[in-house]
Amino acid sequence: MQHAMPEGGKALVLSNGAFGGKLRDHCKLYYETTFVHLDNAQGWNLERAKQHIDGAEAKGVKLLAMVHHETSPGILNKVREICQYAKSKGMLTLLDGTSAWPADAVNHEADFIDFYSWASQKAIGCPSGITGVSHSPDAVKAIEAAPIRSNFMNLKAYRKMALKNENPTTPAVSVIYSLRVALDMLKAETQTVFSARHEKMAARVRERVVKMGFRLVVEPGFESNTVTAFFCSRNKEINSTLQAKHSVKLGGGHADWAETTLRFCNMGDVDMAKVEAGLDALESVKKELGV
């Protein structure tokens, strides 16, 4: 974030959940920030974003920042069309892809992305401890032109040391070895198959959750490949019973949906058999508790 623009830069943050709010907080540390939040678990597409990008352009905004997959309600935003439009307005684009990649594939050039971050403990299925940041040629120019605002994640230093196949400081070496194994597995499976496998698992989760009588949080067309949030009464009791009797733990409700939802997550070391087992356990507990 701190490497995207020079002093006095202006940014637009599009949000529809808790992590969009965190992106705003980071952005405000460095830039004058316009923040737009969608309520009621609505997804961002170009139709909804266009007026805000146009307004931001009029204010001299040069950075669009948003979350690719908003984990709290399980929304996958339409980032390609939004980023393409923002780039046409002369903006750099920055995406938080923490819980998206590689279950939801991205391509810097095709998706008009300049900065993209992801986390080792999410869909790639590694221990926590690594944040990956990839960048486009336009992002490289921005990095070189921006002032150094922090020694932490100083991308200038990382780029310089990367030419020597080194890091500025000692990294989480054991996690890097784990990540290398995970990336080798991804390469062997291929990105296309990996994404399709997660898409199939997520579709199965939605199908069975709806069949059980639960209502999905996400609106049609913005479904995630990794997280399915659904409304349910007694959500905490369901989760505690799942864990005690079936050794299954769902993601708890988060942010605006903390007291009214649960989240079924299919990322990391999961396959369809584990997904079906988790769904069987959920159905059993639902019947047991009469919810």
Q: What is the pLDDT of residues 17-53, one digit of tens each?
A: 999 999 999 999 999 999 999 999 999 999 999 999 9
pLDDT tier for residue 155 given thresholds of 50, 70 and 90: confident
- For 281-285, what is the mean pLDDT? 98
> How much is the pTM?
0.92
Residue 1 pLDDT:
63
- For 61-87, what is the mean pLDDT? 96
The set of long-range contacts for 156-165, using a CB threshold of 8 Å and a minimum separation of 24, is: 156/3
Return the exposure string of 106-125: e unless at least 16 CB atoms fall within 10 Å of the residue's CB, then b: bebeebbbbbbbbbbbbbbb
Residue 108 pLDDT:
92
Q: What is the pLDDT of residues 158-171, one digit of tens each?
A: 888 888 989 898 88
Helix, strand, coil % in the chain, rounded to nearest 5: 45, 20, 40
Q: What is the pLDDT of residues 188-209, one digit of tens each?
A: 999 999 999 999 999 999 999 9
What domains can you pick out in the chain, each with its CATH number?
10-182 (3.40.640.10), 191-289 (3.90.1150.10)
Written as one letter, the residue type at 136 is: S
Over 80: is that where the pLDDT of 5 sits?
no
Q: What is the pLDDT of residues 210-254, one digit of tens each?
A: 999 999 999 999 999 999 999 999 999 999 999 999 999 999 999
* Residue 130 to residues 57, 102, 117, 194, Cα–Cα distance (Å): 34, 15, 10, 20
Tokens of 234: 């007694």
